[in-house]
Amino acid sequence: MDSNDDGQELDLLKLSYEIVEGFSGERIDKVLTELSTELYPELLLTRSKIEKLIEQGCVRLGNSEIRSKSFKIEQACVAKLTLSDFIGLDLKGDPDVVFDVVYEDKDLVVIDKLAGLVIHTGDGGEIGTLAHGLVYRYGLKGVGHPKRPGIVHRLDKDTSGLMVVALNQSTLNKLLEQFHPPRKIHRTYFAVTRKPPSSRALPVTGVISASISRDPKNPVKMGVSKEGRAATTKYRFVEEFTEAMLVELELETGRTHQIRVHLENIGIPILGDPTYHRGSTRLSREIEIVLPARQALHAAKLSFEHPETKQQLSFESELPEDIAKLIEALRILDAGQ
C-alpha cells in the first residue's frame, strides 16, 4: 500500500515509503528525511535520527537491509522503516474541541470540520486539535497512529468540510484501502478562485495532472515538480464572475495542499489563500471587504462504502457562511454593472 496524504494502514512500528523515480541518484538518508517530514511530521524524524535507524538496520528496500546512510537510490521502490517504540505518543483528550458530527455508528463517524481547526499537531505538545477532541469523545486507543488516532484523511487547518474518522482498527484499515484502485471513496470540494488570465484560456472542465513535492526553499510549502509524487485533480467551472469563479473539484489523489497547488499552477489561485497566490492581482474594494480570513475552499461532498455493512454512504455539507457571503457579494457586484 502506497503512502499518501489520505493515510494508509499504519502499523505502530513500521512505516512504508513509496520512493518515486525522481529520487534516483539521491542518498537514502536524505530521501527518507524528506518523505518523513511530509508523511509523518509528528514523529520528528530528523536526518540524524534517520541515519541512526539506518545504522541500526531498521531500513529495508525490498528484501535488502540498508545499513549505509550514503546508499543511493537506483530506481523507484518501496522502503520500510521500523521504529523501536512510541513511548509517550498517546494524546490526552480535550473536551473543549468543537466539531459537528453528521453521522455516527459503532465503526465510524463523519464530521463537518470548521475552518481554523487543526487536524493533528506535529510534536503532540499542544492541545486543541481535532485529534485531541476525538480522543476525548471516542477514546480511540490503538486505532492507527497514536498522534492521529482514527484519522483516515486530512484537511488543511483553514479548509472546512467533511471528513470520515474510523473508530476501530479494522474500519481504519478498510477505509484506507478505499483510496486505492478500484477507488471507492470520493471527495468533492468547492473553491472560489481568481479568473484565469486573458492570455490563458482554460476549458470549462478538465483534469490537472501535475506531480507535487515539498518546496526546497520553504519546507512548509508544496509545489509542482517533475520529481514529485503523482497528483490528479478534476475540475469544473460552476459559475463565472467578473473577478472570480466558483469551481467544483474532485480529488483523485490526496497530496499535501494538492488543490491549492494545482489551482495556483493553472493560473486560478483560491481567493484568500495566504500561501498559494502567485499571479494574483488586487481585487476590487467591494470584494476585498467580504474575503474570508482563509482560503475559500470547502470539502462539500463525501461518499464511500461502509466497511462493514457495504452500504454506499453519501454526505453533503452546505457552504459555510464566509464562502456563501463571498459568492453572494460577487453576484451582486456583477448584477450592478
Q: Which residues are catalytic?
A: 156
Q: Distance between CA atoms of 106 and 168, rounded to whole angstroms?
A: 9
Residue 330 one-letter amino acid: L
Q: What is the DSSP string of 255-280?
A: -TTHHHHHHHHTT-PBTT-SSS-TT-
Measure the CA angle with vertex 172, ends 167 and 175; round to 5°: 120
Q: What cell does 200 get?
A: 490563458
Sign of the alpha-carbon dihedral angle for 303, 206, 228, 272: negative
Residue 72 grid coordinates: 543511493
> Residue holding cell 484519522?
151
Kind and range of the H or E run holding 331: helix 321-335
What is the C-alpha separation between 226 and 317, in angstroms, rounded? Answer: 35
Q: Single out the residue of 2, 308, 13, 1 nearest to residue 145, CA to CA.
A: 13
Q: Indicate the SS3 state at residue 25.
A: coil
Secondary structure of residue 40 in the 3-state scheme: coil
Distance CA 132, CA 152 (A): 15
Question: Which residues have C-beta within 8 Å of that of residue 181, sequence separation ≥ 6?
Answer: none
Cα(231)–Cα(5) distance, integer angstroms? 11
